[in-house]
Amino acid sequence: RNGASEISHLIFIEKDITRRRQLEKTTATLANAALALNQSLHTEEVLDVLLDLLMSCVLYDNAAVVLLHHDARWAIRAYRGPDFEAAFGEGNCFIGFETLNSPPIQTMLTNRETVVVQDSALSPALHPLMEERNGRNWLGIPLVVNGRAIGFCILDKDEPHFFSEQHIQITEALVNQAAGAVENAILFEEVQTGRERLKSLSHRLVKAQETERHYIARELHDEAGQALASLKIQLLLLSHHAEEPQVILNKVPEIQQQVDDISENLHRLAAHLRPASLDHLGLITALAQYVRTISEQYGLIGEFEVCGFKERLAPEVETAVYRIVQEALTNVIRHAQAGRVDVFLKQNETNFVIVVEDDGKGFDPINVMTGILASDHLGLVGIRERTEMLGGTLILDSSIGNGTTLKIEVPYDNSHLAG
């Protein structure tokens, strides 16, 4: 008995030592992980470190990290393993509706808790996640920051029941540490993007101001300046016929016509800068006049419809909406090669909507919007900035050969009304 008791005691001591060593190893791993995960402020680098750490501790077959995209979609931002590489290729890949609505993902995101599927062959609900992959044991851990799920990490293994309780605990600890680092990286990247965007917009604003000044100078010089010079010469010539009233009378209609032409050109220039009707008659009348003018000037079929507007909006809101439509129609004229354009404004109790639709050649909106800072899309930059200023959302629906629909929705409240 004493011998058996001594053996049991030794086994207990050995197990205790093993547990302590394992605890020390885990503590060291987490300490090193904290340093490694916070070394970088770039999301992809943080995620690469996380997947490396998980591989060293868990030996998964495939792994992926999915983050909430700025447009409310879920994007796979990092992955490892042959099955995921074959499925996703290079670059970001957005998670489909069927996958997001599978019970394991829904449970994980709704409850913000780890989900384990020990054998996917016995879990039909997991099939959308395992399609064309060999993983049998599945582990999903949410990345939670301040009670909010900003993403999730999924691991799988071809061997059922591979992930032990210890694997799950270390994975949860690493993912929890990574969540804060990922949030910091995302915030840093947003700040960097904001700075670059502000710098680009400042440059574009200066460029736009210079372009506008050149336009005004050219119009004044080429139109009004030359017309006034011609008028001055004619008046000088008439001064030589002071003793011939009939000659002067014959010239008066021609001079009056020149004065009318100068006045019309100056009126057109002023309307281009800011139409008087916008201040005196309001947004609806100003836009109706503008759509009609554009249609006549460029040979377009232009339609303008309004629904629900009963009161005038605040001056700054009317100006922003007018400029949005003006920029949109300018884009149609310059790029769309359209034969028809429709402008629609609708107001209800909760929002107002601006729609500009053309039947032109269309474009790829993803490429245009993702390259909006690098490419020459000043019109869309202005539209987006004014939309954000109003607290609204911009939606572009277009495809090559099928025209374009630009839709802007702005939340509506009393602050948007004229005081």
CA distance linking residue 380 with residue 387, whole number of Å = 10
CA angle 294, 295, 299 (to 5 degrees): 115
Can 27-192 and 275-419 be said to share one CATH topology?
Answer: no
The topology (CATH level 3) of 27-192 is Beta-Lactamase (3.30.450)
Average of per-residue pLDDT values in the chain? 80
Instruction: Tell me the domain boundaries of the chain.
Output: 1-26, 27-192, 275-419
Task: Output the DSSP codes for 34-79.
Answer: HHHHTS---HHHHHHHHHHHHHHHH--SEEEEEEE-TTS-EEEEEE
**What's the rounded mean pLDDT across residues 29-46?**
82
Task: Record the pTM.
Answer: 0.50
Q: Give residue 374's pLDDT.
A: 43
Q: What is the pLDDT confidence band of residue 373, given thresholds at 50, 70 and 90?
A: very low
Q: Give residue 51's pLDDT.
A: 94
Q: What is the pLDDT confidence band of residue 375, given thresholds at 50, 70 and 90?
A: very low
CA distance linking residue 293 with residue 271, whole number of Å = 11
**What's the rounded mean pLDDT across residues 276-289?**
88
The topology (CATH level 3) of 275-419 is Heat Shock Protein 90 (3.30.565)
- Residue 105: pLDDT over 80: yes
Q: Report H helices in 89-158.
A: 97-100, 103-111, 127-130
- Residue 208: pLDDT over 80: no
| CA dist list (Å): 273 to 206, 269, 347, 397 | 16, 6, 26, 29
CA distance linking residue 27 with residue 33, whole number of Å = 10
| CA dist list (Å): 195 to 191, 192, 200, 343, 393 | 6, 5, 8, 34, 21
Buried b (16+ CB within 10 A) or exposed e, 389-408: ebebebebebeeeebbbbbb
Structure tokens at 168: 């799950």
Structure tokens at 197: 């965007």
- Residue 85: pLDDT over 70: no
pLDDT tens digits, one per residue of 252-274: 888 888 888 888 777 777 766 77
CA distance linking residue 336 with residue 193, whole number of Å = 29
Q: What is the pLDDT confidence band of residue 5, given thresholds at 50, 70 and 90?
A: low
